[in-house]
Amino acid sequence: MSDTFYNAPQPALTTQDVEQAPFYVVSRGKFLTLFILTFSLYQLYWAYKNWKQFKLSSGENLWPVARAIFAIFFTHALYREADARIKRDGRDFKWQPSGLATLFVVGLIVSNIIDSLVRKNIGYPLLDAVSLAMLPVMGWITWLGQQGLNAAAGDPQGQGNARFTALNYVFIVLGAVLLALACFGLTLPPE
């Protein structure tokens, strides 16, 4: 008689359980909330997680932290990898990875120029308002690219990462307070 008779039955593993997800998956609501309420700092985490997932699934030797910090140079490559995965897996997802990556890079450059001017008190209060208005714009542009990454990972709606964690809520509360203070600051007269 075999010893396996006494072992509890084990669930069958699917290839999806064994294979590492190729890209970071996140839902639209979670992505946009964290992007806007962290004043786009979430973009660093987003880029890091995507490159980390890609590194784990592909086995390529790359530095996710460097690619996150210098996302302006690596977003085209990230979207190309996602598009290649979509095509390789025979999925049908209509997006423009090169155009979205270019839009992301241009938006990032414009946003950084505006933020530099704001830090030097140039264009107050107009550029301060434009800087705040760029948050949802950049969030949406980045989200459009994330949709392709979700599709490449086999979770187009990002339902695998739709719930907020306790740490997410901490950043949401802190970000909401900072956003309220920034909006209040725009109403103050210049010094």
Q: For residue range 31-67, list pLDDT tens digits in order.
A: 999 999 999 999 999 999 999 999 999 999 999 999 9
CA distance linking residue 137 with residue 20, whole number of Å? 31
Q: For residue range 112-153, list pLDDT tens digits in order.
A: 999 999 889 888 789 988 998 999 999 999 999 999 999 999
CA distance linking residue 158 with residue 30, whole number of Å? 9
Report whether 137 contacts 107 (CB < 8 A). yes
Looking at per-residue pLDDT, the higher value among 16 and 189 belongs to: 189
Question: Would you kindly state where each structural domain of the chain is located, as residue ranges?
Answer: 24-187
Count Cβ atoms below 10 Å from residue 188 Cβ, excluding itself: 8
Report whether 150 contacts 13 (CB < 8 A). no
CA distance linking residue 37 with residue 174, whole number of Å? 8
DSSP state of 4: G
